[in-house]
Chain A
Amino acid sequence: ETGVTQSPTHLIKTRGQQVTLRCSSQSGHNTVSWYQQALGQGPQFIFQYYREEENGRGNFPPRFSGLQFPNYSSELNVNALELDDSALYLCASSQPNRVVGTDTQYFGPGTRLTVL
């Protein structure tokens, strides 16, 4: 186990609704990244937070937003849900080593979001 937890496990929403997904990082990790994984595909980077600030963003519209809290837990918010937002949402926590140049990201089990 990675020590990264996510909630809820599964979620069903309807088009146009808003959703909040939660992630608790591994102890000691100050960086959290969120990914979207469509069925049969690899994870796609949404954004990353480092010390409560957004630290990089992938090709996702502004209706995907996030927060990181002082205890390094994190939220992913998606507004105006679309059918194509149905996917597994993964968070990954890490403690980047900027000297060595590594950033091993440890993933949670994911939240399966279904948009009807």
Chain B
Amino acid sequence: GESVGLHLPTLSVQEGDNSIINCAYSNSASDYFIWYKQESGKGPQFIIDIRSNMDKRQGQRVTVLLNKTVKHLSLQIAATQPGDSAVYFCAENIRYGGSQGNLIFGKGTKLSVKP
């Protein structure tokens, strides 16, 4: 069935280190992927996205890697800061027929940054 899952439910890193959050998806028809950050009491905040015709995309301090062969997505955060502490979700966009599609979210990974 359609699902987006995360390999590590919690991740604790030292301030200044790099963080890697992994995500597995199951639907090969997914053509667009987004990483969101959600802080306590807030809605998900867009971080970075990637289309299925790409395998890497970089933003400010963040990089998303997409491996369609093994249906794996990862988010890399460089020089992790305390403000990066949050729950991170990957989401895949699945289109049905001619419709726009919807986002399928996983459960999330909680990132804790130790000072």
Contacts and interface: CB of A to CB of B under 8 A. Distances in A.
By DSSP majority rule, is chain A's interface helix, strand, loop, or mixed? Answer: loop
Contacts of B49: 102, 104
Contacts of B99: 55-56
A107 B96 contact: no
B103 A102 contact: no
Nearest to A9: B41
Interface in B54-110: 89, 91, 93, 96, 99-108
B31 interface: yes
A61 interface: no
B101 A41 contact: no
Given A40-B107, A42-B107, A104-B49, A90 B43 contact: yes
A101 B32 CA distance: 8
A33 B102 contact: yes
B103 A33 contact: yes
A44 B42 CA distance: 16
A42 B36 CA distance: 11
A31 interface: yes
Contacts of B108: 41-42
Instruction: Name the interface size band of chain B.
Output: 20 to 34
Instruction: Name the interface size band of chain A.
Output: 20 to 34
B28 interface: no
A56 B100 contact: yes
Contacts of B34: 104-105
B14 interface: no
Given A108-B43, A109-B42, A109-B43, A45 B100 contact: no
Contacts of B42: 109-110
Interface string A34-57: 010000111111001010000110
Given A43-B103, A44-B105, A100-B51, 13 more contacts: A40-B107, A43-B44, A43-B105, A45-B104, A50-B100, A56-B102, A90-B43, A92-B103, A101-B32, A103-B32, A103-B100, A105-B34, A107-B36
19 contacts: A2-B43, A2-B45, A33-B102, A35-B105, A42-B106, A45-B102, A55-B99, A56-B96, A56-B102, A96-B100, A98-B100, A100-B51, A103-B93, A103-B100, A104-B34, A105-B34, A107-B43, A107-B45, A109-B43
